[in-house]
Copies of this chain bind each other. A is one copy, B any other.
Amino acid sequence: MNTVTIVGVGLIGGSFALGLKKNGFTGRILGVSSERTIAAARELGVIDEGLSLEQAVPQADLVYLAQPISRILEALPRVAELAKPSALVTDAGSTKRAIVARASEVFGEGHSIFLGGHPMAGKAVRGVQAAEADLLRDATYVLTPPGAAMPLDERVGRFGEWLGKLGARVVVMDPAAHDQLVAFTSHLPQMAATALASLLLDELSWPDSWRVAGAGLRDMTRLAGSAYELWRDIAMTNGDNINRALARYIQSLEHVRENLRTRALEDEFQRGGHFVTRLGRAGGGSV
């Protein structure tokens, strides 16, 4: 692996590049991004050179697509055409079915191969300025080969080794299983926070009411500060699963509501406490 091309040099793409450099990668790292981002990324030592997609992809042994989901979907056909047959193309999009399906249409015989990925890492701040060489350290990194069967291909093995050097913990999952799971662990919490914050914007109608808000409410609404542009793409490509997860959550809330004065509330609190304990033991990602 001599040349890596990062398409979308933001927090994730930039952190992957810095992680490679910190952990012994001595080849070249090319970046494809806006002019302003390329200037910042070069100044920060994240990439060696900024080029167009047409110039950068044909040179790469590894193409790392780290744009928003809709941009990855748009770029895939062109990337499949441009990449050399010996290359591995991977992505960092946070839903996987749509991307893996699109890739299976455009990558074929005699082409480079595609492997979907989802690094479960992030920060409140976006952009290449926030990139860190250790962002993926101890983070779960989901790889989503179709059918959850890792291709027996040395390029895939080599990419997995680099993820290991960066400290990521690889989990292999079918794209559909991934999307169903993150609908509950990531997309539902986001929608729950947004719906709560939006409701409370009306309810906290007089100035003193804001002073009554405490740390619990802050925890429960923090995610509502997330950028819509990212979530539009997630909702578009995982709407069916998010819809089902929201329906289940509404059922769970109805159950609590009907049992505010019965012992069933105690069961819910016990189950909730049990969840928090198990989650605490699980350790894991930072987003």
Which of A171, A195, A196, A287 has its CB near the most chain B CB atoms (within 10 A)? A195
> Across the interface, which residues of B come within 8 angstroms of A227, CB to CB?
269
Sort A-B residue pairs by CB-CB distance and give the 9 closest, nearest first.
Answer: A224-B272, A210-B282, A197-B272, A228-B269, A197-B275, A214-B285, A225-B276, A214-B287, A198-B271
- 16 sampled A-B residue pairs with Cβ under 8 A: A120-B212, A181-B212, A185-B209, A185-B212, A198-B252, A213-B279, A214-B284, A214-B287, A216-B223, A219-B223, A220-B220, A225-B272, A228-B273, A235-B261, A235-B265, A250-B253
Q: A208-B171, A210-B279 are in contact. Are A249 and B181 (CB under 8 A)?
A: no
The answer to whether A1 has its CB under 8 Å from any CB of chain B is: no
List which A213-271 residues lie within 8 A (CB) of chain B: 213-228, 231-232, 235-236, 239, 242-243, 246-250, 252-257, 260-261, 265-266, 268-271
Q: A186-B217, A215-B286, A275-B201 are in contact. Are A257 and B253 (CB under 8 A)?
A: no
The answer to whether A142 has its CB under 8 Å from any CB of chain B is: yes
- Report the minimal beta-carbon distance from A191 to chain B, rounded to whole angstroms: 5
Q: A181-B212, A204-B184, A212-B285 are in contact. Are A217 and B199 (CB under 8 A)?
A: no
The answer to whether A194 has its CB under 8 Å from any CB of chain B is: yes
Number of copies: 2
Number of A residues near B (Cβ < 8 Å) is 90
CA distance A263 to B111 in the complex (A): 38
Main secondary structure of the interface of A (DSSP, over half): helix
Minimal Cβ-Cβ distance residue in B for A218? B279
Minimal Cβ-Cβ distance residue in B for A140? B211
CA distance A269 to B182 in the complex (A): 19
A285 CB contact (under 8 Å) in B121, B204, B213, B253? B213
Residues on A lying within 8 angstroms of B by beta carbon are 120-122, 140, 142, 169, 171, 173, 181-182, 184-186, 188-201, 203-204, 208-228, 231-232, 235-236, 239, 242-243, 246-250, 252-257, 260-261, 265-266, 268-279, 282-287
Whether the Cβ atoms of B120 and A198 lie closer than 8 Å is no
Q: A185-B204, A260-B242 are in contact. Are A199 and B248 (CB under 8 A)?
A: yes
Whether the Cβ atoms of A214 and B185 lie closer than 8 Å is yes
Whether the Cβ atoms of B275 and A224 lie closer than 8 Å is yes
CA distance A72 to B269 in the complex (A): 23
- Report the minimal beta-carbon distance from A40 to chain B, rounded to whole angstroms: 24
> Across the interface, which residues of B come within 8 angstroms of A247, CB to CB?
257
> Across the interface, which residues of B come within 8 angstroms of A283, CB to CB?
211
